[in-house]
Structure 1
Amino acid sequence: MNQRATFTTMQDSTADDWNAISAEFSAFTKGLPDRVMAHLQLLEGDFGGFPVDRYTHSRQTATRALRGGEDEEYVVCALLHDIGDTLASNNHPDIAAAILKPFVSEANLWMVEHHGIFQGYYFFHHLGLDRNMRERFLGHPFYEQTAKFCALYDSPAFDAHAETLPLEVFEPMLRRVMAAPRRSIYSR
Structure 2
Amino acid sequence: MTKSGPTVSFTQMKDGTREDYELLEKLEQPFLAGTAGRLLKELAAQADETLAGYQITRLEHGLQAATRARQDGADRDWVVAALLHDIGDRLAPQNHDRMAAEILRPYVREEVAWVVEHHGIFQMAYYAHHYGWDPEERQKFRHHPCYQSCADFCERWDQSSFDPDYPMDPLDSFAADVCDVFARKAYDPSVIRPGVVLGLPSRQ
Category of TM-score, reference length = shorter chain = over 0.9
Pairs within 5 Å for 1:50-89: 50-89=54-93
- Return the TM-score normalized by structure 1: 0.94
Residue of structure 2 in register with 1:21 after alignment: 24
The root-mean-square deviation of aligned C-alpha atoms, in Å, is 1.4
Residue of structure 1 in register with 2:161 after alignment: 157
Of residues 27, 36, 40, the one that matches 1:37 is 40
SS in 2 for 1:42: helix
**Identity rate, percent:** 39
1:95 aligns with 2:99: yes
Residue 114 of structure 1, CA deviation = 0.2
Query: Whole-Å Cα distance in 2 between the matches of residues 43 and 126 of structure 1?
Result: 28
Of residues 117, 122, 125, the one that matches 1:121 is 125
Query: Whole-Å Cα distance in 1 between the matches of residues 88 and 44 of structure 2?
Result: 12
Query: Whole-Å Cα distance in 1 between the matches of residues 182 and 5 of structure 2?
Result: 25
Unaligned segments of structure 1, at least 5 residues: none
1:10-62 Cα distance to aligned partner (Å, 9 max, x none): 11111111111011111110111111111112222322211211110001100
Query: Whole-Å Cα distance in 2 between the matches of residues 61 and 23 of structure 1?
Result: 37
Query: Whole-Å Cα distance in 1 between the matches of residues 186 and 25 of structure 2?
Result: 18
- Return the TM-score normalized by structure 2: 0.87
1:88-134 Cα distance to aligned partner (Å, 9 max, x none): 11111011011111111110010000000111111111121111110
Residue of structure 2 in register with 1:2 after alignment: 5
In structure 2, give the amino acid aligned to 1:111: V
Unaligned segments of structure 2, at least 5 residues: 189-204
Query: Whole-Å Cα distance in 2 between the matches of residues 55 and 145 of structure 1?
Result: 23
Query: Whole-Å Cα distance in 1 between the matches of residues 53 and 185 of structure 2?
Result: 36
Residue 182 of structure 1, CA deviation = 3.4
